[in-house]
Amino acid sequence: MEKLNLTLSTKMKKNFILSLSALFLIVSCGDNNEEFDLFTIERAESRYLELIIDASGSVEAISSIEIKSKASGEILYLGAEVGDKVNKGDVLARIDQRTPSNILSQAEADIGVSKVKLSNATAQLERGKKLHSGKSISDKAFEDIQELHSFAKAQLVRAEVYLENAKIALEDTLVRSPVSGKVITRQAEVGTVITSPTATVGGGTLLMRMADLNKVRVRAFVDEVDIGNLSLGQEVSLKVSAYKDKEFLGYISKIEPLARVNQNVTTFPILIDIDNKEELLLLGMTAEVKIKVIDAKAHLTVPSGALRTRKNLNFVGTLLGMTDDSIDNFLEERQENEGFTKFIVLKRVNNKPVPIWIEIGNTDYNNVEVVSGLKNGEEIYVVPSDGLIKNQDEFKERIRGRRPF
């Protein structure tokens, strides 16, 4: 049996039933009459089902980072342009070091002074202990000596902290790359004087942005009708306009739970991760996404146009010659999951339509898998939608109106 290959856009799927039904309407015009056959007979049989979901999205970086300067002063050197590849630890910028260098020298001098003061205070404390034990000085005098020693000790600690901060400030004048990657934007130029407050979270002056392009992602938007067919880790193929003959492969890494609504169309964002060792995919490229969700031979199928619900069974049943009583009797019993996995088909028995409930599985919107309710080779009626039939009735009258009396 020939394999069915069906790739449907969202719009095509939403208009599917109407367009499919048109396939089963046969109009034949003769010299003496016009006959409009409003149904066909099809067999329940094995068919290949193949369904590919179409979507579109744009290429994004999975890992990107902002390069900021914590130092203030004139930018003397920038080590990378947009598009340059840099390695972890490479110097990306150098800020004027004169002020931090002077502060460091002052901090080193203050350390020396503080050490001398602490040494003198320690010697006085030892001498004071001996004098105090011999009752040569008062308690108050000894307490003053202890206080001076504590002050000298604290002063040294403050000087050490100040020295450490001065070293960090000097180191901050050299901005190094924290990761390997490619520069994607640059916000600063050599000669610019920057002020970089770092007291707040995320503080510092933005110099450039980097991203790892060895692995990228596409954020695509999938219609809500199709989102239930997707799963994490599912393989995806993509194409971009720049490389029309090349197919890129990726996998679904995330299905976001919050829907987006645009012009009454509801979609869900999905993230597709792609290896990009050659760095052919660039950030912002538009990607056309194809996700194969069904590719298998179904043991038993019927055309989608054969499915009916209780809402339109009266119209179709009457059209095929069923009595109102027989239709009402059939519809008395409710089925679980009606309109979701349970549908009505009209089975051909002794050349007459007999309604039965069937349970369906996968579908490629052209044919549906029958899980239960039918056997291989059984015949069913395929009837167009109510609206299409009415349109064809109007068409028939127009044809008749054009014929000469």
Q: Are 84 and 182 in contact (CB under 8 A)?
A: yes
Sign of CA dihedral 125, 131, 133, 137: negative
What pLDDT shows up at residue 302?
96
- pLDDT for the residue 132: 87
Nearest to 343 by CA among 389, 382, 377, 376: 382
CB contact at 8 A, 186 and 207:
yes
pLDDT of residue 390: 52
The pLDDT, as a whole number, for residue 227 is 92
What CA–CA distances, in Å, run from 164 to 50, 116, 156, 160, 171?
67, 19, 12, 6, 11
Under 8 Å between Cβ of 367 and 304: yes
The number of C-alpha atoms within 13 Å of 65 and in the hemisphere containing its C-beta is: 14
Low-confidence stretches of the chain (pLDDT < 70) are: 1-37, 197-202, 385-405
pLDDT at 61: 94
CB-based burial, 88-125: b 16+ in 10 Å, e otherwise? eeeebbbbbbeebeebbeebeebeeebeebbeebeebb
pLDDT (tens digit per residue) in 248-273 = 999 999 999 999 999 999 999 999 99
The pLDDT tens digits of the residues spanning 129-149 come to 989 888 888 999 989 999 999
Hey, what domains does the chain have and what are their CATH numbers? 6-51+299-402 (2.40.420.20), 55-62+212-292 (2.40.30.170), 67-197 (no CATH)
How open is the CA angle 332-335-341, to the nearest 5 degrees?
140
